[in-house]
Structure 1
């Protein structure tokens, strides 16, 4: 027994509509996942950049502090004293 043409046609139409809907759903899911991965990667890069800026700022502050100490003669190697309050001899 062969299916009637109108039944077969409506079946094929329904099948195509379902496949098309499924393809769109999958496509949207793939796009959303790629966007999530891009956001994660962007957040990682931003964090790395912030850490690098913080590190550079700390290095600059240390350099400035060391320069100021040297200008005022407060170098730790020059002004270290022993327990008697006497500067150690330097060669």
Structure 2
């Protein structure tokens, strides 16, 4: 019978883990801020395109709004998604 191997993530194994967590958190913050900026710009483009009878510009604005919201969802849910898939992988 082979031995059971149990390995868990180690938060003290390498130097710089805390700094890496800080960098990742800052990256998430930047992503959320840029998502808000993209949402504002896309909404302005959508409104300008709608009011100037330019359906191409209005369509681009709509797509931009959806993409900005999707990016914010992914940035906000990234930790939960990773934890979910980590748990799924551990159950295999």
Q: Which has the higher contact order (CA 8 A, sep 6+)?
A: 2
Question: Larger radius of gyration, structure 1 or 2?
Answer: 1
For the criterion TM > 0.5, the same-fold answer is: no
Bin of the TM-score, shorter chain as denominator length: 0.3 to 0.5
